[in-house]
Chain A
Amino acid sequence: MADETAAPAAPPQDSRREMVAFVIGVAGWLVPGLGHALMKMWGRAAACFLTVGMLVILGAGMRGNVFSSSGNDAFDSLGYLADLGTGTFYLVARSLEKNGADVSHAGGDYGTRFLATAGVLNLLAALHAYEAARGRKA
C-alpha cells in the first residue's frame, strides 16, 4: 500500500523552476540587484544596487566596523553575517576602509549600522527576487 502522507514527486518543470529561482536568489545576494535584473525588473534592480551601494559607501566612509570572521563574541559573528549579506560589496567595504574602523565617534557607530543594514536589505531583496522567480506575486 502506498504511503499517502508522502508528498507527490515534483514534476520536472517545477524542479527546474526551483533551480532557476535559487540561482536568481544567489545572484541577487552576490551582486545587489542582479536577481531582479535577470528577471528584467529594471527599476527594482537599480533601486537595490544603488541603495545597497550607497549604504556600503557611506558606512565605510564613516569608518564603520566591517566585521571579519575572527569575531570575539556573538555580536561580532552576527555583525559578520549581516555584513556578508552585501555579497561582493563586502569586499568593496573592506577595500574602501583602508584606515580601519573608528567607532570612538558617533559617525563610526552609525557607519557600522549602515553596513549591517545594507547586508540585511540585500538579503531581503535577494529573497524577494527568489520568491518572484518562483512565481509568487511580487
Chain B
Amino acid sequence: MNAEMGFKLGHFQSMLLFALLISIAFGFLSRRRPIDRVKYIVWSLFLFLLIGVGIGWAMYPFSH
C-alpha cells in the first residue's frame, strides 16, 4: 500500500479509520484530563460505528 498506487480500503475499514481519527481529534480538543479524553474517544467511536452500521441497515431495503 502506498499513496501513489492508492490505498485499497473496504467500506467498513474506511468508516472505522474515519471514526477513529475524528474521535481522537474531538476527544483531544474537547477534554483536558487524559481519562476524560479516553472516555470521550471510546464513546464517540462506539456511537460513530453504531450509527454508521444502523444507517447502513436502514438503507438495506432500498438497495433492492
Contact = CB atoms under 8 A, between A and B. Distances in A.
B22 A51 contact: yes
B53 interface: no
Interface in B9-50: 9, 11, 14, 17-18, 21-22, 24-25, 27-29
B58 interface: no
Interface stretch (A11-19, A68-76, A80-88, A102-110): A102-110
B28 A48 contact: yes
Interface residues of A, number: 29
Interface residues of B, number: 19
Interface of A: 43-44, 47-48, 51-52, 54-55, 57-58, 60-63, 96-99, 102, 106-107, 110, 113-114, 117, 121, 124-125, 128
